Structure 1
Amino acid sequence: MPAPSSSAEFSLKRIAVPAFGPSLLFGVGEGAILPIIPLMARDLGASVPVAALVIALIGIGSLLNNIPASVITARWGERQAIVAAGLWSAIGMALCVLTSHLGLFATGCLMVGMSQAVYNLARQSYMTEAVPFLHRARALSTLGGVMRIGMFIGPFLGAAAVHWFGLSAAFGVGIAGVLAAAAVGARLPDLELPPIAPGQPPPAAATIASTLRHHKRVFLTLGVGVLLVSAVRASRQVVIPLWADHIGLAPAVASLLYGLAGGIDMLVFYPAGKVMDHKGRQWVAVPSMLIMGLAMLLMPLTTGFTTLLLASLAIGFGNGIGSGLIMTLGADHSPRHGRAHFLGVWRLMSDIGGSCGPALLSLLAASLSLGAGIAATGLIAFAAAGALAYWIPPHRKPP
């Protein structure tokens, strides 16, 4: 299916189910198992640090598989990559359920992370080609937002399954979710590469090396800004519960704060995408990081539920308006030929930032204080805002 020729002919509603349905279902599947993984690891004999490492294997698997995911998507196409990711994730989850060996359980978690990399890259590549530029930010913001909604719903479905059938039942919900995502993804029509202009030779086959060489300026400028954004976003998942515990709030209250911040996050993704399409990427990218940075700088000054709630809601709002931002910027700068390789490197940089952010927060909290670590994360957000303001093109035309 070629990309629509004009934005007047295009409607997000026409592709809503095949394009956004797999994201919702994949998010439900993963969200159902994430809270259960450390508990099952503990049941299999893991210590608390080892259980934390097991759940970290999902992120590690995603990070390590970004480049192979680009090769898979370039070779087999987006639709087949989405289907394969769902099947591979289901196999990994089934391994987790069927084994009583901690090493095999950890392998299953790693497989889930590997599938996440393939799925995320393939869906981004598909939407980049299928959606006209004037609708791109709305489409990718919705893609990110729908995934977050699925991740929000998943734990509730998993909790219900666990209540009635035991811990492993959450993986049944997860398997059903990712298999349903694969089934819906199989309905995606294949995309066609744009035709070569008459008289021009066909472009040379793209490789990771050629992609790095041809686009090194983007990776070393805007790519660094994206790395900083990912570091801040990943850290936000840690700072709210940690600071709530630090000031003596009960775990249930910490969960409530986190949930309310997530609720705000999910409400604003589409308006933010619309602003990016109509005004430009800077109008959302820079405020997103400034709001999160200011909230994190103020968080160490909070002393109770009300003040921490305000800071948490600000973090959720700042993160929510940035939904789809990294995907949109990657789509804007990706070449039509060799797009999968470009997005693979782009996602690798994003995942590196997502891994380094919490690690830096942990290091600063251990060596200085938790408040200092959170404040430093706020400063990183300001640095990200500066990098995005400088390197994002101010116009709305495709780069």
Structure 2
Amino acid sequence: MEADGGSSSGAVESKAGFVLGNVAEVVEKILTFVPTKAVFRLASVCRLWRNCARRVQRTRQKTTWLSASGSSRYEEHVLLRAMEEGLENVFLLPQTVLLMVDNENFSGHHSSFRHKKARRCLPEDESDVVDRLRRLLPGNCDVLCVVTPGIVLTPSDPSCRVPREFMEGEAGFSLLFPAMEGVHIRPFHFCKKSLSNSALEKAGLAGNPDLKVVLLFGYDAYKTGAARFLNQLLKPLGRSNVLIAGGHVERVFPQQRDCCSPGSFGVVGLTLSGPRIQGASVLLDQEVSTPAAAEVTIRRLKAVGIPESNAFGFMFACVARGHNHYNGQHNVEADVFHKLFPGIPLFGFFGNGEIGCDRIVKENYTLSQTDANGLQHGYTTVMSLVHLG
């Protein structure tokens, strides 16, 4: 009996081995349930598995995110620890990553985080974070990180996807964009030395008929010449058929050390190009100061009819808003967005000035055009919805 049982078990194993070594459909089905990092490890099994892994990976085109809040148990920012753990379980290969973290608790030098927490981190410490991110992410991945006074994020835990506003405390998120068919995402970084027509074309900001969305973040905007510099970039964008959203932040990295003087002003951001991309934004001005008024304004995004599949919300608000602006009520604007768009995650920050306007970029028309001054605001919130097609 034991011999027969052993023989039967061996036959089953032999059949299973044959299927796993020869039937691509079965292997591909199995790999669809495996996170990306594990898929790459399994791709080394044999040529069949390598080819199946490549085909499976090409189908993973849905953007995802990792977010974290609360005090970290470790000496580094809570987001970095969340990324180290979360990237093991994501089902995509990041090609572009947008990170936002709070200024108060973020320190570039994670090994000295606790005793440096109360003071602003030094610029040279940023190299430690960049090295850390490079070890976590693919080597050819474009990484853009902005440091802001406050953070708006949607938890990455599937059991609780209600967006939250953090005007204080440790918080951050990373948006992970894979290579997507029909969608081209390019980072850009300009300082007064590098802004030129050729640089704009290279970044996809000029001569690009498929450009649909520009996420734009300025830094050190209070310095002499920064306003004139920003107008050079915003002037042509204001007249274009493009959705512009963003604001002014505390710091960005990595910066282009070969062209930027220490402490110089500049802008960073992402261009999103593709014929199927759609977007819309509304401006909550200073007079919008109650939940009801906020809902009336944000509901205009709902009326546009932007597809809600494969979509993200962006909220760029002034540091003077939040609960301070709504008579002590917390999470007002994020809650209104979630009420109207319960299935769409929301991300953004509280910053030092907002960039954007009421605008629709849908199919073959745009509403509305404005000048560079009409794109810059204070004491407002720019609330945007972007559909990636």
Range of TM-score over shorter length: under 0.3
- Which protein has greater RCO, CA pairs closer than 8 Å, 6+ apart? 1
**TM-score, normalised to structure 1's length?**
0.26
**Which has the larger share of helix?**
1
